[in-house]
Structure 1
Amino acid sequence: MSLLPSVAEALTSGRVEIVDLTAPLSAETPVIQLPPEFAQTARFELEELSRYDDRGPAWYWNNFRTGEHTGTHFDAPNHWVTGQDREDVASVPASRLIGPAVVLDFSSQVAENPDFLLEVEHIEQWQAEHGPLPQGGWMLYRTGWDARSASQQEFLNADETGPHTPGVSPACAKWLGEEAPIIGVGVETVGTDAGAAHSFDPPFPCHAALMGSGKYGLTQLQNLAQLPPTGILLIAAPLPIVTGSGAPARVLALVERG
């Protein structure tokens, strides 16, 4: 059997499972909260146009309004000042929207410390057990944070000092951007950076390093707990918004079972 028919057979037979990593997008979807002096992203909104009524007797449809970076979404390189002359989301080659992925699980550490930061040595320890990060693929960073996604307050986890969510250290971000063979990082939190990253040196180092290196981010993923550490094929399909800095995305993982 040639390759594509064999893949199709594996999907229909269940030997390859499709795991949806996308958070449902609605008015309740948590959004990032910036300091009040900065512009804020929009929550998702639906405006009904017709619903089998006088406005359209046989059809139901809506307009919608949302921020590019609301819900499960794709960060393009031009999202950050370090990548301002790089690709917009519509220019990302389709060949880079499908690739291998691995899952690094640090949910137990985050359960003890919501400000946990991933370090290069953590990745090196993972690689010693599971092998190298995938060339041209994705590193998915599991923290268990998707369990909080039903609540804006719990998801941002902010107090008087700011948000407390896990992320990546500045040194690790630099390594991921400049040395790691991956094309991007996926997380369960509202952004690829830690909640306290505004105070890091440099600020928001994961955004700065990834975007500046022409790499990508995926955020607000769910169901990483259903994935094995390796052997994943990831499909990340953002809306191709011309000049856009990112877009809501449907993110699917293909995993061989049994």
Structure 2
Amino acid sequence: MSLLTEVFAALREQRLEIVDLTAPLTSSTPVLRLPEPFANTINFQLEEISRYDERGPRWYWNNIHTGEHTGTHLDAPNHWLSGKDGPDVAGVSLRTLVAPAVVLDASARVAEDPDFLLQIDDVRKWQEEHGPLPDGGWLLYRTGWDTRSDDADEFLNVDDTGSHTPGVAAECARWLAEETPIAGLGVETVGTDAGRAMELDPMFPCHELILGAGKCGLTQLRNLDRLPATGALLLVSPLPIVGGSGSPARVLALVER
């Protein structure tokens, strides 16, 4: 039996499960909101072209209006100034888009503190229990934040002092970028950085350091609680937008059961 035939058999027999990590893309999908004077992306919209009517009697189709960084999406290195000479979304390596993934669960810490920042020691403790981070793979950072994603106000969690969502400490972002073999970082929040990332040094450290190192980001993931700490295979399918800085993506994981 060939390797691919064995994979198909495992899927059919449910020894291998496909877990969808993607948030549905609708007009109510939460999007990042930057303060003035910065420009913001638009919400996702469908514009009907025809629907089995005089405009097209046998077909239904739409134009889509959205930003590259809307919903579950991939950040390419060129999304940030520090990575401007890196690949665009069409140029991201296929070995990055299909790669092993591990899950670090900090949801209990985040339940106590929505501003929780992942530290280097947190990752090292995870490694002591589960082994090294995957070479060329993904670190998926579970915070439990996906339970809020159907309500934009709860998901963005903004008050008079700013946005309060979990993220990664600047020192940890630098360490992940420069000292670990991962190809990217995936999160459940609206962006890879914490809500208060403008207060860190450098500001937006995951964007500045991880993208600057030629690595990628994934945001607004769901169902990370259905993945094991190690052993999943991630499949990321962004649109290959030439010159694009990112793209909404369907993100799936293959998990042995």
- Please give the TM-score of this superposition, normalised by the length of structure 2: 0.99
Q: Deviations over 1:34-59 (max 9, x none)?
A: 00210001110000011100000000
- CA apart distance, 1:118: 0.4
Cα separation, 2, equivalents of 1:142 and 1:95: 23
Task: Give the aligned CA root-mean-square deviation in angstroms.
Answer: 0.6
Cα separation, 1, equivalents of 2:252 and 2:82: 28
- Larger mean CA deviation between 59-68 and 88-97 belongs to 88-97
Cα separation, 2, equivalents of 1:117 and 1:199: 12
Match in the other structure for 2:213: 213
Match in the other structure for 2:202: 202
1:256 aligns with 2:256: yes
Cα separation, 1, equivalents of 2:200 and 2:95: 34
- CA apart distance, 1:173: 0.2
Cα separation, 1, equivalents of 2:182 and 2:22: 21
Q: Deviations over 1:140-186 (max 9, x none)?
A: 00000000001111001011111000000000000010011100000
Cα separation, 2, equivalents of 1:93 and 1:122: 29
Cα separation, 1, equivalents of 2:4 and 2:210: 33
Q: Deviations over 1:95-143 (max 9, x none)?
A: 2210000000000000000000000100000010011110100000000
Local SS of the residue matching 2:146: helix
In the TM superposition, 1:45-56 aligns within 5 A as 45-56=45-56
- CA apart distance, 1:91: 0.8
Cα separation, 2, equivalents of 1:184 and 1:167: 14
Match in the other structure for 2:154: 154
Cα separation, 1, equivalents of 2:198 and 2:33: 12
Cα separation, 2, equivalents of 1:173 and 1:128: 19
AA partner of residue 184 (structure 1): G
Match in the other structure for 2:191: 191
Q: Which runs of 5+ in 2 are unaligned?
A: none
1:16 aligns with 2:16: yes
AA partner of residue 158 (structure 2): A
Cα separation, 2, equivalents of 1:152 and 1:36: 19
- CA apart distance, 1:8: 1.0
- CA apart distance, 1:93: 2.1
Match in the other structure for 1:80: 80
Local SS of the residue matching 1:225: helix
Cα separation, 2, equivalents of 1:242 and 1:112: 42
Cα separation, 2, equivalents of 1:163 and 1:63: 32
- CA apart distance, 1:90: 0.6
Q: Deviations over 1:9-45 (max 9, x none)?
A: 1111110000000000000000001002100011100
Q: Which runs of 5+ in 1 are unaligned?
A: none
- CA apart distance, 1:94: 1.9
In the TM superposition, 1:1-258 aligns within 5 A as 1-257=1-257
Cα separation, 2, equivalents of 1:222 and 1:92: 22
AA partner of residue 46 (structure 2): L
Cα separation, 2, equivalents of 1:195 and 1:48: 35
Cα separation, 2, equivalents of 1:77 and 1:50: 37
Cα separation, 1, equivalents of 2:203 and 2:161: 16
Cα separation, 1, equivalents of 2:208 and 2:77: 9
Local SS of the residue matching 1:14: coil
Cα separation, 2, equivalents of 1:106 and 1:246: 26
AA partner of residue 21 (structure 2): L
Cα separation, 2, equivalents of 1:153 and 1:37: 21
Q: Deviations over 1:70-105 (max 9, x none)?
A: 000000000000001110001112222100000000
Q: Percent identity?
A: 66
